[in-house]
């Protein structure tokens, strides 16, 4: 390879990222902004106007929807972060990544599947109510809105259950870069309680490592749609759900206030992240004052034990929710207040209704993950010739911070003009925006950690760049690559809004069908779709573990034993 090919490759990859990942967001936001300010030529609106904002203001329940969005999104993020911090601090010696592997199954489950399972458990006729009925002798479900409650408590619980494993695993990865055990020992030798040492010494080092993931969790909590449809208030709903309803309303004029609402949703996320940054500055100064003031403070022990119990209890609830999906999919008759189905049947699994949705889901996941892997490998391989560009890497994660509802409508308008809307190509482009960042996150660290001396030995033996990539780097990194692919499958399967908007309702996946069926269909049918949706990521992770083991089954290490 000539010296120019490396920079050319990196420039090509950067161009693909900018045009394929960043440009769709910018163009989508631009088209949404045009409609939000009255520019909608298809309906005869060609002049700039504030009428969409007046229409948005006059929508029934708009203020309540905005309040619910802030309460549920910010509240769930803060609760999940506090529990994750307390759990890691309670472990004192540092929560290594190995100790957190039991959280991986909960992280792999799509949000919609977890929400359906939680609805089965929390509903007035759900498993928890059936336990109380058995103890207290109820013969009717309680008249309590335990799901779709007006305060959004069920939605907050669902968001905490789903985001807590992610934050714990992120913290575990960050703590592996901090000498936790040594610093805890020094702090305790100086008379400080473990919790105080953790907050004063460990947390300031950990926060910069997890800042971006916390932003992602906050942005998702403020703009979530699928979980909000299944668990959240319905009249009025959260702002993101209300905007989706307005976009899909029979009256096409509702596109104008919907576009304005999408801009408000985007502004809410931007302001929330800015407020978090401002709080970081304030807390940093307060923390410095606290450190200089001295004092050993309180033990924090009771609070840490509460956090430990909270994490264990929430993960037990998540396991119960997943079990409820399978039980309901196989239940033939399950009347209240029975704790267990009175009859079992696999008839619903034999129906062919779900097979087309399964096919669409698999095709979208396979194509999207392959494209994301190729792009990520090319990006990382190009780093061999030039230094890393942090600003370019930051752009990759932009789709995770911008609310989907803010730009998907505008992107769909662009696809309509190009004649590709409503097909596989449009949905794959939409899903790639969110799959690629997670694939990069999973693959970049193992890729950069590979010993470069092995590649230099290959070069010294006359192997060209592509041969070194195919014969050395990729086989040695097969396990991380398959893990990144499994994560990509889980992200693709979970995509709801990109499939709904860009597929124009023509491409039904397990996720779109599960969310639709959760609105009041037969729980057994909903359980089948949600079980399949939850099973696909597990299958992908299983293959990610089996394929490298099979591929390297005859490999031997330097000591002569099998690897």
pLDDT of 269 above 50: yes
pLDDT score at 4 = 42
Q: Is the pLDDT of residue 6 over 60?
A: no
pLDDT band at 359 (very low <50, low <70, confident <90, very high): very high
- Residue 42 has a pLDDT of 79
Average pLDDT over residues 150-166: 94
pLDDT score of 131 more than 50: yes
Q: Could you tell me the pLDDT band of residue 122, with boundaries at 50, 70 and 90?
A: very high
pLDDT at 400 over 70: yes
CA nearest neighbour of 216 among 158, 276, 258: 276
Q: What is the mean pLDDT of residues 307-327?
A: 93
Mean pLDDT, range 480-509, rounded to an integer? 91
As beta bridge partners, residue 556 has: 562
Q: What percent of the chain has pLDDT over 70?
A: 90
Global pTM value: 0.90
pLDDT at 206 over 80: yes
Asked if pLDDT for residue 376 goes beyond 70, the answer is yes
- pLDDT of 2 higher than 60: no
Tens digit of each residue's pLDDT (9 = 90 or more) over 294-308? 666 666 677 788 888
- Split at pLDDT 50, 70, 90, the class of 446 is confident
In this prediction, residue 263 carries a pLDDT of 95
With vertex at residue 234, the alpha carbon angle to CA 316 and CA 404, rounded to the nearest 5 degrees, is 80
> 47 versus 357: which is more confidently predicted?
357
pLDDT of residue 69: 96
Q: What is the mean pLDDT of residues 309-315?
A: 93
Query: Do 523 and 333 touch, CB atoms closer than 8 A?
Result: no
Tell me: the pLDDT tens digits for 454-469? Answer: 767 776 777 666 777 7
Compute the average pLDDT of residues 50-62. 92
Structure tokens at 258: 């919907």
Which range, of 96-100, 231-235, 515-519, averages the lowest pLDDT?
A: 96-100
Average pLDDT over residues 443-455: 78
Res. 97: pLDDT tops 50: no
Q: Considering only residues 192 and 418, tell me which one the structure prediction assigns the higher pLDDT.
A: 418
Q: What pLDDT score does 165 carry? A: 92
Q: What is the pLDDT of residue 367?
A: 96
Tell me what the mean pLDDT of segment 90-115 comes to.
73
Contacts 24+ apart (CB under 8 A), 15-19: 16/375, 17/375, 17/379, 17/392, 17/395, 17/396, 18/395
CATH code linked to domain 62-331: 1.10.3720.10
- Say if CB 328 and CB 460 are below 8 A apart: no
% pLDDT > 90, the chain: 45
Q: What is the pLDDT of residue 258?
A: 94
Residue 521: per-residue pLDDT: 67
- What topology does CATH give the domain 1-49+349-553? MetI-like fold (1.10.3720)
Q: Give CA 400 to chain center in angstroms.
A: 8
Q: What per-residue confidence (pLDDT) applies to 7?
A: 60
Look up residue 82 and give its two tokens: 């506090």
Averaged confidence pLDDT in the chain: 85
| Burial environment of residue 49 by CB neighbours within 10 A (0 to 12, 13 to 18, 19 or more) | middle
pLDDT of residue 439: 93
Alpha-carbon torsion, ordered 418, 419, 421, 423, to 10 deg: -130
pLDDT at 509 over 50: yes
**Mean pLDDT to the nearest integer, 26-30:** 92
Six token digits for residue 124: 């007035």
Q: Output the pLDDT for position 549.
A: 85
Q: Quick one: CA torsion of 365, 371, 377, 382, rounded to 10 degrees?
A: -160
Burial class (CB within 10 angstroms; exposed 0-12, middle 13-18, buried 19+) of 121 = buried
What per-residue confidence (pLDDT) applies to 48? 86
CA 136/CA 442 separation, integer angstroms: 49
In this prediction, residue 11 has a pLDDT band, given cuts at 50, 70 and 90, of low
Q: For residue range 220-229, list pLDDT tens digits in order.
A: 999 999 999 9
Alpha helices in 123-234 (DSSP H): 127-136, 153-175, 180-189, 194-197, 203-223, 226-231
Sequence spans of domains, the chain = 1-49+349-553, 62-331
pLDDT at 539: 93
Question: Residue 95 — pLDDT band, cuts 50, 70, 90?
Answer: very low
Tell me the pLDDT tens digit for each residue of 389-399: 666 677 788 88
């Amino acid at each position: 390879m000539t010296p120019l090919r490396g920079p050319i490759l990196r420039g090509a990859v950067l161009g693909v990222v900018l045009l394929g990942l960043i440009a769709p967001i910018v163009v989508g936001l631009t088209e949404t902004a045009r409609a939000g300010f009255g520019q909608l030529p298809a309906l005869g609106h060609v002049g700039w106007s504030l009428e969409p904002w007046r229409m948005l203001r006059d929508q029934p329940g708009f203020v309540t929807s905005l309040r619910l969005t802030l309460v549920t999104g910010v509240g769930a993020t803060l609760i999940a972060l506090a529990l994750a911090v307390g759990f890691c601090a309670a472990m004192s010696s540092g929560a290594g990544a190995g100790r957190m592997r039991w959280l991986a199954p909960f992280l792999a489950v799509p949000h919609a599947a977890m929400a359906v399972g939680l609805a089965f458990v929390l509903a007035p006729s759900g498993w928890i109510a059936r336990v109380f009925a058995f103890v207290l002798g109820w013969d009717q479900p309680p008249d309590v809105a335990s799901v779709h409650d007006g305060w959004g408590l069920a939605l907050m619980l669902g968001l905490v259950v789903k985001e807590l494993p992610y934050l714990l695993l992120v913290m575990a990865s960050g703590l592996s870069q901090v000498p936790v055990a040594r610093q805890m020992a020094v702090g305790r030798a100086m008379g400080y309680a473990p919790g105080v040492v953790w907050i004063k010494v460990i947390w300031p080092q950990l926060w910069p490592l997890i800042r971006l993931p916390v932003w992602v969790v906050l942005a998702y909590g403020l703009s979530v749609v699928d979980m909000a449809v299944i668990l959240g208030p319905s009249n009025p709903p959260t702002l993101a759900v209300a905007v989706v309803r307005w976009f899909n309303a029979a009256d096409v004029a509702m596109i104008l206030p919907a576009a304005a609402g999408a801009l408000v949703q985007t502004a809410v996320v931007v302001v929330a992240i800015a407020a978090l940054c401002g709080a970081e500055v304030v807390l940093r100064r307060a923390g410095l004052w606290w450190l200089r003031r001295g004092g050993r403070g309180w033990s924090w022990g009771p609070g840490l034990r509460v956090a430990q119990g909270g994490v264990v209890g929430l993960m037990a609830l998540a396991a119960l929710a997943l079990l409820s999906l399978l039980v309901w999919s196989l239940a033939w008759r399950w009347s209240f207040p029975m704790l267990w189905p009175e009859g079992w049947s696999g008839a619903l699994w034999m129906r062919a209704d779900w097979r087309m949705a399964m096919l669409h889901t698999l095709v979208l996941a396979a194509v999207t993950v392959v494209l994301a892997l190729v792009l990520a490998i090319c990006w990382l391989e190009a780093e061999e010739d030039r230094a890393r560009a942090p600003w370019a890497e930051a752009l990759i994660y932009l789709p995770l911070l911008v609310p989907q509802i803010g730009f998907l409508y505008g992107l769909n308008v662009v696809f309509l003009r190009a004649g590709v809307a409503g097909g596989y190509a449009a949905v794959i482009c939409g899903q790639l925006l969110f799959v690629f960042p997670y694939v990069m996150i999973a693959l970049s660290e193992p890729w950069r950690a590979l010993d470069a001396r092995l590649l230099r030995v290959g070069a010294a033996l006359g192997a060209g760049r592509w041969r070194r990539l195919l014969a050395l780097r990729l086989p040695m990194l097969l396990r991380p690559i398959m893990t990144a692919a499994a994560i990509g499958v889980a992200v693709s399967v979970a995509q709801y809004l990109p499939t709904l908007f860009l597929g124009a309702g023509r491409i039904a996946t397990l996720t779109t069908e599960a969310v639709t069926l959760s609105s009041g269909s037969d729980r057994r049918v909903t359980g089948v779709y949600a079980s399949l949706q939850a099973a696909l990521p597990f299958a992908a992770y299983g293959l990610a573990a089996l394929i490298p083991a099979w591929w390297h089954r005859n490999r031997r290490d330097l000591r002569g034993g099998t690897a």
